[in-house]
Protein backbone atom coordinates (compact mmCIF):
# COMPACT_ATOMS: atom_id res chain seq x y z
CA UNK A 1 0.00 0.00 0.00
CA UNK A 2 1.49 3.35 -1.04
CA UNK A 3 1.72 6.26 1.36
CA UNK A 4 -0.04 9.59 1.09
CA UNK A 5 3.16 11.25 -0.10
CA UNK A 6 4.35 8.56 -2.51
CA UNK A 7 6.52 10.06 -5.24
CA UNK A 8 6.88 13.47 -3.59
CA UNK A 9 10.21 15.10 -2.75
CA UNK A 10 10.50 17.36 0.28
CA UNK A 11 13.20 19.68 1.61
CA UNK A 12 12.94 20.35 5.35
CA UNK A 13 15.09 23.10 6.83
CA UNK A 14 16.35 22.48 10.36
CA UNK A 15 15.48 18.79 10.19
CA UNK A 16 18.40 17.17 11.99
CA UNK A 17 16.48 17.19 15.30
CA UNK A 18 13.24 18.15 17.02
CA UNK A 19 10.04 18.71 15.09
CA UNK A 20 11.87 18.83 11.76
CA UNK A 21 13.33 15.37 12.29
CA UNK A 22 9.95 13.99 13.37
CA UNK A 23 8.38 15.41 10.21
CA UNK A 24 11.14 13.90 8.09
CA UNK A 25 10.48 10.47 9.60
CA UNK A 26 6.74 10.84 8.94
CA UNK A 27 7.31 11.91 5.34
CA UNK A 28 9.58 8.94 4.70
CA UNK A 29 6.97 6.61 6.21
CA UNK A 30 4.39 8.10 3.82
CA UNK A 31 6.56 7.36 0.79
CA UNK A 32 8.29 10.70 0.22
CA UNK A 33 11.96 11.33 -0.36
CA UNK A 34 13.43 13.91 2.01
CA UNK A 35 16.37 16.31 2.08
CA UNK A 36 17.65 16.60 5.65
CA UNK A 37 19.08 20.01 6.46
CA UNK A 38 21.46 21.30 9.11
CA UNK A 39 23.85 24.21 9.13
CA UNK A 40 26.58 21.57 9.61
CA UNK A 41 26.90 19.34 6.51
CA UNK A 42 28.34 16.49 8.57
CA UNK A 43 25.28 16.50 10.84
CA UNK A 44 22.89 16.58 7.87
CA UNK A 45 24.69 13.64 6.26
CA UNK A 46 24.79 11.64 9.49
CA UNK A 47 21.08 12.05 10.20
CA UNK A 48 20.17 11.24 6.58
CA UNK A 49 22.28 8.07 6.78
CA UNK A 50 20.54 7.08 10.01
CA UNK A 51 17.14 7.58 8.39
CA UNK A 52 18.13 5.34 5.51
CA UNK A 53 16.85 5.02 1.95
CA UNK A 54 15.00 8.03 0.65
CA UNK A 55 16.91 10.58 2.75
CA UNK A 56 19.82 12.80 1.67
CA UNK A 57 21.77 15.35 3.67
CA UNK A 58 22.03 18.97 2.52
CA UNK A 59 24.22 21.18 4.68
CA UNK A 60 23.27 24.86 4.39
CA UNK A 61 22.73 27.98 6.47
CA UNK A 62 19.22 28.82 5.28
CA UNK A 63 19.33 32.31 6.79
CA UNK A 64 21.52 33.32 3.82
CA UNK A 65 20.75 33.55 0.11
CA UNK A 66 23.51 31.09 -0.67
CA UNK A 67 22.16 28.65 1.88
CA UNK A 68 18.61 28.86 0.55
CA UNK A 69 19.88 28.16 -2.95
CA UNK A 70 21.99 25.28 -1.62
CA UNK A 71 19.00 23.65 0.09
CA UNK A 72 16.75 23.83 -2.96
CA UNK A 73 19.53 23.02 -5.43
CA UNK A 74 20.88 20.17 -3.30
CA UNK A 75 17.42 18.62 -3.04
CA UNK A 76 16.91 18.77 -6.80
CA UNK A 77 20.40 17.40 -7.38
CA UNK A 78 19.74 14.46 -5.05
CA UNK A 79 16.21 13.58 -6.19
CA UNK A 80 15.58 15.38 -9.46
CA UNK A 81 12.69 17.55 -8.27
CA UNK A 82 11.15 19.47 -5.38
CA UNK A 83 7.47 19.16 -4.48
CA UNK A 84 7.36 20.28 -0.85
CA UNK A 85 9.37 22.84 1.10
CA UNK A 86 9.07 22.94 4.88
CA UNK A 87 10.50 26.06 6.49
CA UNK A 88 11.20 24.68 9.94
CA UNK A 89 14.58 26.09 11.00
CA UNK A 90 14.29 28.41 13.98
CA UNK A 91 15.69 29.58 17.28
CA UNK A 92 14.44 31.22 20.45
CA UNK A 93 15.61 34.11 22.62
CA UNK A 94 14.00 33.74 26.04
CA UNK A 95 15.14 36.77 28.00
CA UNK A 96 13.84 40.18 29.10
CA UNK A 97 13.59 42.68 26.27
CA UNK A 98 15.89 45.12 28.08
CA UNK A 99 18.58 42.42 27.94
CA UNK A 100 17.97 41.54 24.28
CA UNK A 101 21.08 42.57 22.37
CA UNK A 102 20.79 43.71 18.79
CA UNK A 103 22.94 40.88 17.47
CA UNK A 104 20.73 38.27 19.19
CA UNK A 105 17.61 39.98 17.83
CA UNK A 106 19.10 39.90 14.34
CA UNK A 107 19.99 36.19 14.56
CA UNK A 108 16.41 35.33 15.49
CA UNK A 109 15.01 37.49 12.69
CA UNK A 110 17.44 35.99 10.16
CA UNK A 111 16.67 32.37 11.03
CA UNK A 112 12.99 32.52 11.94
CA UNK A 113 11.76 35.01 9.35
CA UNK A 114 14.32 35.86 6.66
CA UNK A 115 15.00 32.17 5.98
CA UNK A 116 11.29 31.67 5.26
CA UNK A 117 11.43 34.42 2.65
CA UNK A 118 14.68 33.21 1.09
CA UNK A 119 13.85 29.51 0.95
CA UNK A 120 10.27 30.10 -0.18
CA UNK A 121 11.40 32.41 -2.96
CA UNK A 122 14.01 29.93 -4.15
CA UNK A 123 11.61 26.97 -4.00
CA UNK A 124 8.86 28.92 -5.75
CA UNK A 125 11.12 29.72 -8.67
CA UNK A 126 11.44 25.99 -9.25
CA UNK A 127 7.83 25.06 -8.44
CA UNK A 128 6.29 27.71 -10.69
CA UNK A 129 8.30 26.32 -13.61
CA UNK A 130 7.71 22.66 -12.76
CA UNK A 131 3.95 22.95 -12.40
CA UNK A 132 3.29 23.30 -8.70
CA UNK A 133 4.16 22.43 -5.15
CA UNK A 134 3.47 23.03 -1.51
CA UNK A 135 5.25 25.19 1.06
CA UNK A 136 4.66 24.64 4.77
CA UNK A 137 6.00 27.07 7.36
CA UNK A 138 6.52 26.44 11.06
CA UNK A 139 4.80 29.14 13.09
CA UNK A 140 4.02 28.92 16.83
CA UNK A 141 1.33 29.55 19.42
CA UNK A 142 3.38 32.69 20.04
CA UNK A 143 2.20 33.85 16.62
CA UNK A 144 -1.17 34.45 18.27
CA UNK A 145 -0.58 34.93 21.99
CA UNK A 146 1.81 37.33 23.71
CA UNK A 147 4.48 35.90 25.99
CA UNK A 148 6.73 38.12 28.13
CA UNK A 149 10.46 37.79 27.42
CA UNK A 150 9.85 36.37 23.92
CA UNK A 151 9.78 39.55 21.83
CA UNK A 152 12.05 38.42 18.99
CA UNK A 153 10.59 34.92 18.80
CA UNK A 154 6.96 36.02 18.99
CA UNK A 155 7.39 38.85 16.51
CA UNK A 156 9.08 36.63 13.93
CA UNK A 157 6.55 33.82 14.35
CA UNK A 158 3.66 36.27 13.97
CA UNK A 159 5.33 37.45 10.77
CA UNK A 160 5.50 33.86 9.52
CA UNK A 161 1.70 33.58 9.70
CA UNK A 162 1.23 36.75 7.64
CA UNK A 163 3.93 35.68 5.17
CA UNK A 164 2.08 32.40 4.78
CA UNK A 165 -1.15 34.18 3.87
CA UNK A 166 0.48 36.68 1.54
CA UNK A 167 2.50 34.09 -0.36
CA UNK A 168 -0.53 31.81 -0.59
CA UNK A 169 -2.46 34.62 -2.28
CA UNK A 170 0.43 35.60 -4.54
CA UNK A 171 1.43 32.13 -5.76
CA UNK A 172 -2.00 30.57 -6.13
CA UNK A 173 -3.15 28.51 -7.89
CA UNK A 174 0.20 26.87 -8.65
CA UNK A 175 1.68 26.71 -5.13
CA UNK A 176 -0.19 26.11 -1.89
CA UNK A 177 1.34 27.84 1.15
CA UNK A 178 0.29 26.89 4.69
CA UNK A 179 1.73 26.79 8.20
CA UNK A 180 1.66 24.70 11.35
CA UNK A 181 1.71 26.43 14.74
CA UNK A 182 3.01 24.01 17.38
CA UNK A 183 2.43 24.43 21.07
CA UNK A 184 5.04 23.48 23.65
CA UNK A 185 6.85 20.37 22.41
CA UNK A 186 9.63 18.33 24.00
CA UNK A 187 12.39 19.36 21.62
CA UNK A 188 16.04 19.96 22.43
CA UNK A 189 15.38 23.72 22.38
CA UNK A 190 12.60 23.45 24.96
CA UNK A 191 14.61 21.07 27.14
CA UNK A 192 17.51 23.53 27.09
CA UNK A 193 15.25 26.40 28.15
CA UNK A 194 13.98 24.22 31.01
CA UNK A 195 17.54 23.37 32.06
CA UNK A 196 18.45 27.07 32.06
CA UNK A 197 15.46 27.86 34.27
CA UNK A 198 13.82 30.02 31.60
CA UNK A 199 10.61 27.99 31.42
CA UNK A 200 8.72 25.72 33.85
CA UNK A 201 7.43 22.63 32.04
CA UNK A 202 5.37 21.53 35.04
CA UNK A 203 3.50 24.84 35.02
CA UNK A 204 3.09 24.65 31.24
CA UNK A 205 1.61 21.16 31.49
CA UNK A 206 -0.85 22.36 34.12
CA UNK A 207 -1.83 25.36 31.95
CA UNK A 208 -2.43 23.11 28.89
CA UNK A 209 -5.93 21.57 28.72
CA UNK A 210 -4.52 18.19 27.62
CA UNK A 211 -2.23 18.40 30.68
CA UNK A 212 1.01 17.41 28.96
CA UNK A 213 3.76 18.61 26.66
CA UNK A 214 3.59 17.31 23.09
CA UNK A 215 5.99 14.84 21.57
CA UNK A 216 7.65 15.95 18.30
CA UNK A 217 5.95 13.15 16.38
CA UNK A 218 2.54 14.54 17.40
CA UNK A 219 3.25 17.59 15.22
CA UNK A 220 4.05 15.55 12.12
CA UNK A 221 0.48 14.68 11.13
CA UNK A 222 -0.41 18.30 10.38
CA UNK A 223 2.55 18.60 8.04
CA UNK A 224 1.84 15.33 6.21
CA UNK A 225 -1.80 16.38 5.76
CA UNK A 226 -0.88 19.79 4.35
CA UNK A 227 1.64 18.23 1.96
CA UNK A 228 -0.79 15.58 0.73
CA UNK A 229 -3.49 15.68 -1.91
CA UNK A 230 -6.03 15.55 0.92
CA UNK A 231 -5.25 19.25 1.45
CA UNK A 232 -5.57 20.15 -2.24
CA UNK A 233 -8.03 22.98 -1.44
CA UNK A 234 -6.20 24.28 1.63
CA UNK A 235 -3.95 27.32 1.25
CA UNK A 236 -3.18 30.37 3.37
CA UNK A 237 -4.10 28.41 6.49
CA UNK A 238 -2.29 27.95 9.82
CA UNK A 239 -3.10 24.76 11.71
CA UNK A 240 -2.59 25.10 15.47
CA UNK A 241 -1.43 21.93 17.27
CA UNK A 242 -1.20 23.00 20.91
CA UNK A 243 -3.17 20.68 23.17
CA UNK A 244 -5.80 23.38 23.62
CA UNK A 245 -3.43 26.11 24.85
CA UNK A 246 -4.93 28.96 22.80
CA UNK A 247 -8.49 27.81 23.48
CA UNK A 248 -8.02 28.06 27.24
CA UNK A 249 -8.53 31.57 28.61
CA UNK A 250 -9.84 30.97 32.12
CA UNK A 251 -8.00 31.54 35.38
CA UNK A 252 -7.49 28.64 37.76
CA UNK A 253 -10.69 27.61 39.48
CA UNK A 254 -13.02 29.37 37.06
**Residue 80, domain CATH:** 3.40.50.720
Question: Is 111 among the domain residues?
Answer: yes
Question: Is 66 among the domain residues?
Answer: yes
- Where in the sequence numbering do the catalytic residues fall? 153
Contact 110, 39 (CB under 8 A): no
Question: Is 85 among the domain residues?
Answer: yes
Q: Name the average pLDDT for the chain.
A: 94
> What's the average model confidence in pLDDT over 209-230?
96
Q: Identify the pLDDT of residue 189.
A: 79
Work out the pLDDT band at 250, boundaries 50, 70, 90: low
pLDDT above 80 for 252? no
Question: Is 25 among the domain residues?
Answer: yes
Question: Is 123 among the domain residues?
Answer: yes
- Residue 125 neighbours by CB under 8 Å, 6+ apart: none
pLDDT above 80 for 20? yes
Work out the pLDDT band at 2, boundaries 50, 70, 90: confident
Q: How far is CA 43 from CA 14, 34, 93, 199, 231, in A?
A: 11, 15, 23, 28, 32
pLDDT, tens digit (0-9, with 9 covering 90-100), for 41-65: 999 999 999 999 999 999 999 999 9
Work out the pLDDT band at 208, boundaries 50, 70, 90: very high
Q: How far is CA 27 from CA 6, 210, 227, 234, in A?
A: 9, 26, 9, 19
pTM: 0.95
Q: Identify the pLDDT of residue 254.
A: 40
Chain-centre distance of CA 123, in angstroms? 15
> What's the average model confidence in pLDDT over 99-120?
98
Task: Give the range of the structural domain holding residue 139, as residue numbers without chain letter.
Answer: 9-185+215-241
Closest CA to 155 of 109, 102, 90, 99: 109
Closest CA to 72 of 115, 17, 16, 18: 115
Contact 64, 39 (CB under 8 A): no
Question: Is 250 among the domain residues?
Answer: no
Please state the domain count of the chain.
1
How buried is residue 66: exposed, middle or buried, by Cβ count under 10 Å (0-12/13-18/19+)?
exposed
Amino acid sequence: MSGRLEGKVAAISGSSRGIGLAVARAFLAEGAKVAINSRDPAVADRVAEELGAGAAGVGADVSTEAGAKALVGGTIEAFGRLDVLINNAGMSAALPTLELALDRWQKVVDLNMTSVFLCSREAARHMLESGGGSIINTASIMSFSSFPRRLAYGATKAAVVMMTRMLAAEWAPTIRVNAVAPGYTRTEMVEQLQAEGRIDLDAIQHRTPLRRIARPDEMAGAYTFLASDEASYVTGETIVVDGGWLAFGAFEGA
